[in-house]
Amino acid sequence: MNTDSYDSRFLLKNLMDNMTDKIYFKDLQSRFTLVNKAAAVWHGYDSPSAAIGKSDFDNYKEADARCMFEAEQRIIATGEPLEGLVEKETWKDGQTAWVSTTKMPLRDSAGSIVGSFGVSRDITAQKEAELQEVYYAEQIKRIKEEMEEEVRMAAELQKTFFPRSYPVFPEGVDPAASAVRFFHYYRASEMVSGDFCSIRRLTETQSGILLCDVMGHGVRAALGTALIYAMVEELMHQESDPGQFLVHMNKLLLPILRQDDTFLYATACYAVFDAATGRLCMANAGHPSPLHFQTSEKRVAWLTTDESMRGPALAIAEGAVYPTAETWLQPGDAVVMYTDGLYEIEGADSEEFGMERLLAAAQRHMGEPLPELFPALVDESIRFSVEGVFDDDVCLVGLAYQEPMEPRNE
């Protein structure tokens, strides 16, 4: 057959029979006058002829059918088509589907509108995938917001781990008259951190000063600090020797932090200072050596350079030994502990600020009181860096020995 002999009826029949999209024609009351096979099957009819005279009210829930009817009546009234309309269709049995629909006014040969016609494509799978994507995105957002809120709460809770006041010697005196003064500085790289310090009165003349740095930063490290915080109060009053204090802490942390699927450790420095004698006893668990500000000699030095006096980090090895070193401070001396975030910050060409620059900076600020000294050291480190921010948590804690504590008169 020559294509020139194809008439419009033949072409329409082929289109209607083979098109997988739903094609339908409706009268002025939005009743079907012609549908293709796909539309008949979609609406649950055995044949296209069975749909004739029916309307959407025969197939869909009242609310959805009403929306379809009103849309078609607007087209009939205005002559304006609806293109690419996404519709949710709910059948009377409760099943739902989504279609992309284009509806147009149906005109006779004189141009008068005599109904409407449309083409609808089933996009249920695509739409459900989109809705699932939106749902999961909302769920992820909700979970993220909840987690952020929990982390914010954890950050507020973690602040309570740090000293809010410092012991004075003798007990009860004005802080300005204390034989030894304490100070700490804390700066987290994230909302929560792995750094922790504690300053506690042990006896009438002795104080305990602890600085810990749990590996890494963020939530995992913060959990480690919570464990250490829970142990410190009891251990400090049970064990006066710093080395034995770290031995006990290592024994407690090892089974908790060294799980099969977990590798977490902490460095720590613990000192016991006697305000009456100036005697400082210190033990080190893989931590950088504290700075010793020696006023009489007007110099700053490492508190110890003997590597044999530094034991392994906590939760690394069973039966680890932590030697206790003894130093005598002179009035005017100060001792400052710090975490490695202070000097591991990088400058140009990925060069670290480093411990030697830290020592030199401490020397430049020799004589400054601790509340001024700590921000000054932090500022020097920050100015050295390229980005001007710390990649790791930073904590400093120290004591300044003012004068020997006078014994109380009983």
Q: What is the pLDDT of residues 190-235, one digit of tens each?
A: 877 888 899 999 999 999 999 999 886 667 777 778 888 888 878 8
**Taking the complete model, does pTM exceed 0.75, yes or no?**
no
**Looking at residue 6, what is its pLDDT?**
63
- Give me the pLDDT at residue 262, please: 64
Q: Please report the pLDDT score of residue 1 as a whole number.
A: 46
Q: Are 223 and 193 in contact (CB under 8 A)?
A: no
Torsion sign, CA atoms 76, 85, 67, 54? positive
Q: Tally the C-alpha atoms within 13 A of residue 288's C-alpha that lie toward its C-beta.
A: 23
pLDDT for the residue 185: 96
- Contact of 110 with 89, CB cutoff 8 Å: no
162, two tokens: 């740090």
User: Residue 42 is encoded by which pair of tokens?
Assistant: 């979609």
DSSP 91: B
Q: Find all residues with CB under 8 Å of 282, minimum gap 6, and list them.
A: 242, 269, 270, 271, 272, 290, 303, 304, 324, 325, 327
Ordered strands of the 394-401 beta sheet: 180-187, 394-401, 334-338, 291-294, 299-302
Distance from C-alpha of 150 to C-alpha of 385, rounded to nearest angstrom: 32
Which of 281, 224, 232 has the alpha carbon at shortest distance from 254? 224
Per-residue confidence (pLDDT) for residue 259, from 0 to 100? 64
Distance between CA atoms of residues 365 and 307, nearest Å? 26
Number of Cβ within 10 Å of residue 7's Cβ equals 8
Give the three-state DSSP class for 183.
Answer: strand
Amino acid at 308: S
Q: Output phi, psi for 111, to 5 deg.
A: 90, 5
b/e burial code for range 317-332 (CB count within 10 A of at least 16 → b): eeebebbbbebebeee
Q: Considering only CA atoms, which of 14, 49, 20, 18 is closest in space to residue 35?
A: 49
Q: Which residues of the chain have pLDDT under 50?
A: 1, 410
